[in-house]
Amino acid sequence: MHFNEGGTWALLYLASEWIIRLVMVIVVPVRRSPDAAKGWLLLAFFLPWPALVLYILIGRPSYPSWRIERVLQLPGLLRGALARTAPFSLPVAGSSVVVETRELVEKLGRFPALSGNQVELLPDYDKSINALIADIDRAEKHVHLLYFIFSDDRIGQKVMEALARAVTRGVTCRVLIDAVGSRPWGRNVIAQLTASGVSAHVVLPIKLRWHPARVDLRNHRKIAVIDGRVGYTGSQNIVASDFKPGIVNRELVARTQGPVTTQLQAVFAADWFLETQETLLIEDITPEQVSAGPVQAQVLPSGPDYPGSEIESLIVTLIYGAYKRVVMTTPYFIPDASLLKALETAALRGVDVHIVVSRVADHRLVNLAQRSYYDELLDAGVKIHLFGEGLLHAKSFTFDGGIGIVGSSNVDIRSFILNSEVSLIVYDQETTARLYAEQESCFASSELLDLSVWRVRPAVVKLCENLARLISPLL
């Protein structure tokens, strides 16, 4: 055989492509959703070698062995939080939707529902940052921050200056920032924080090595805890609202007081241990909690460190249990088959279902993919609102006026399976009413899609949307 002949090399290349296709058929469907498997196999069929390279880089939703070993120690770390909040734990009894939801969330995320909380919703971008800085300036013992994006722009500088002031008062400050989310600013932020005496670390740093970990498994959480008494979580990062040129973000943050803040503290402590191997005992970083208000609340952490798609399981269950109204706001909407069916079924049985997404697109391919779902949802009776005043980055859900969710999780496969996320679930009529009022304000700034008008968009646009949908499980 003469290997310098073009025909021989072409034959070998063709054979290699078919070997890749056959191997992917065997490997890809293992422990993977049908939608994700379909996306990978389509990519492998048309582009075998690029699919193989991409699969090696991001095809397996798992962490390296050293991290998995640390994850196994998390239940022990969380026991302190459970003991600390035991007096506020709510009994599991009865068959109401709220009681069943509390039990489900506890099984998914290990934290029970707690009484005695106060939850304040902060939809104003600057006021939310100013409230956080004011709480940092009041800190006496500990300040803990965990953010996907932490920049060194004017917003980041204000927060870093507050942390530096806290350190000079003898307050211990710890900060975690995601390596990819904060990549443009991470080196400067870590250097400035370290120089001022803050203990700061990058989460999931990207390192080139044999058998690399997936670079797209990110910590997307947004958590701040001050003295173990005040907590923040939601969609807002430590960055200016207009950090993307031509786009202004609209966010939503929940400020908590009471025992549920201990659960946010525990999530931070778990992530701190995973990155640094330093154990922060809840007893040392959280005071004895007292009742701060009438709200029942619960924290649900989710991601590859947990056994299943926790937040998606909760959302799908609540949609099926809804009898009056379901509203969700999200910047990215790429549902899998189970969520899509739940939304369509709820609308068909008379539930008033609203989805608020942004007209503005900061990720073109994701936007095209999510648009491909609008037709069938509208046809089922789901109301879709296109938010027109900037990028609606807030992630919120209300169900029948009694259950509300605020957190970091988008409604897409990445947030459901790949990213580490955190959600605050509240069981309170008044708080949920305030959350729904915020969602209604988004309705007022949105265009309600009409099915007949939507269907007359250009054929080439429909084609692009459908092509993007084919790979949407990979986005």
What is residue 41's predicted lDDT score, i.e. its pLDDT?
A: 77
Which active-site residues does the annotation give?
220, 222, 227, 393, 395, 400
* Beta-carbon count within 10 A of 249 CB: 23
Q: Is the pLDDT of residue 433 over 50?
A: yes
**Mean pLDDT, to the nearest integer, of 164-188?**
96
pLDDT tens for residues 45-84? 878 887 777 777 666 656 667 777 787 787 777 888 889 9
- Answer left, alpha or beta for residue 31, where phi above 0 means left and psi between -120 and 50 means alpha: left
Q: Is 319 in contact with 343 (CB distance < 8 Å)? A: yes
Residue range(s) in the chain whose domain bears CATH number 3.30.870.10: 65-101+114-297, 310-474
Cα 102 → chain centroid: 20
Residue 206 has pLDDT above 80, yes or no: no
Regarding the domain delimited by 310-474, which CATH topology (the fold level of the hierarchy) does it fall under?
Endonuclease; Chain A (3.30.870)
Nearest to 369 by CA among 24, 33, 21, 35: 35
This prediction has a pTM of 0.90
Q: Does the pLDDT of residue 386 top 70, yes or no? A: yes
- Listed residue (457, 445, 3) closest to 248, CA to CA: 445
Q: Which CATH class is domain 65-101+114-297?
A: alpha beta
Strand 325-329 with 403-407, pairing:
unpaired
pLDDT digits (tens, 9 = 90+) for 210-230: 444 566 788 999 999 999 999
Q: What percent of the chain has pLDDT over 90?
A: 69
Check pLDDT > 50 for residue 203. yes
Quick one: pLDDT at residue 443?
Answer: 97
Q: What is the pLDDT of residue 123?
A: 97
pLDDT band at 4 (very low <50, low <70, confident <90, very high): low
What is the structure's pLDDT at 211? 46
What is the structure's pLDDT at 77? 77
Average pLDDT over residues 181-202: 96
Percent of the chain with pLDDT over 70: 91
Average pLDDT along the chain: 90
**Taking residues 361-371, what's their average pLDDT?**
90
Give pLDDT, residue 93.
Answer: 63
pLDDT tens-digit map of 5-50: 667 777 887 888 788 788 877 777 765 666 667 777 777 787 888 7
Mean local confidence (pLDDT), 199-206:
91
CA distance 101 to 400: 13
pLDDT at residue 367 in the model: 92
DSSP state string for 365-384: HHHHHHHTTHHHHHHHT-EE
pLDDT at 210: 45
The phi and psi torsions of 293 (rounded to 5 degrees) equal 175, -175
Least confident among 13-17, 128-132, 231-235, 415-419: 13-17
